[in-house]
Amino acid sequence: MAREEPVALLCALALAFAAHAQDQRPLPKGSPGALVAGTLKVHVYAGEGLPADSLRALARPQVTLWLDTRSNTLKESTVERVARFDEAWVRLRAPLSKPDALVLARIPKAGVWATPKDLEGLLGRVPGVRRIAVEVDGPLNAATAERIAKARPSVVRWRPSGPVDLLGWGLFLALPGQKVLVPAPEELLATRCPGRSRALPALEVHVATLLAMSADVFPCGSGTRVIVPGEVEPWLLQSLVVRDPSVELVVEVSESPEAATRARILMERLGLGPGR
């Protein structure tokens, strides 16, 4: 996933908070001092090249795996690790061969993660009843929306290539399943959210960008996904959770064992339980 923001920006923003005479940690008054994780959900984006032991250490309660792949052929060790997650999505591409389908049959809980153009070549070929997550990059037109709707996805994650027009927004809202909007930082719109609605798409945004906005960001859907580095400060996580209990975290480890170690430490701080 190539959308990392510089950690240096996050550090600079944290220092800027500290420079103010007001509370250095922007928590509402009366907030508990210890991190309140509760049912906080964490999404981990990992590549199939991540060492098996590093991947296994991330399999914990409340953690969802998004496994990016180079092909549909999964290694034995990868299949075994994916099966340890309560929720997992595996990137697949059309066409799907029979041998690869037989391997996927061993992880029946894993959902299919695909682009719109691959849907037709995958549906009906993946064994069992599978949840579908669709990744849309660029403009959303009527033909693409129709193809997505036929798949009846559980999740649609849209990364527009520019400003979202009314037609595209209407098509997005009409799609089935949970909807996640991933706009470019320059396309973010500051707003005021009096509440969070499950009927609206969730926003996915980097924590550094969120801090720079210093405001609520459109749309006001529940389950905002905040991309955080593994070394994020606990007080900042606490601030996110206290301000919006529905918030979810996104951690990108790709194929880096070092990034996976930082993600594991973060999960331990959150009290998500031991690895499986």
pLDDT(9) > 70: no
Band (153; pLDDT cuts 50, 70, 90): very high
Per-chain mean pLDDT for the chain? 87
Question: At 7, phi and psi to the nearest 5?
Answer: -65, -30
Q: How far apart are CA 131 and CA 92, in angstroms?
A: 13
Q: How far apart are CA 108 and CA 17, in angstroms?
A: 46
pLDDT(138) > 90: yes
Mean pLDDT confidence for 47-51: 96
Q: List pLDDT tens digits, range 207-218.
A: 999 888 888 899
Band (63; pLDDT cuts 50, 70, 90): very high
Q: List pLDDT tens digits, range 186-243.
A: 999 999 998 888 899 999 999 999 888 888 899 999 999 999 998 888 888 888 888 8
Q: How far apart are CA 120 and CA 9, in angstroms?
A: 41
DSSP category for residue 24: S
Q: List pLDDT tens digits, range 84-125.
A: 999 999 999 999 999 999 999 999 999 999 999 999 999 889
136: its two tokens: 């849309």
Listing DSSP states for 149-203 in one string gives HHH--SEEEEE-SSPPPHHHHHHHHHSSSEEEE---GGG--EE--SS-BTTSPEE
pTM equals 0.87
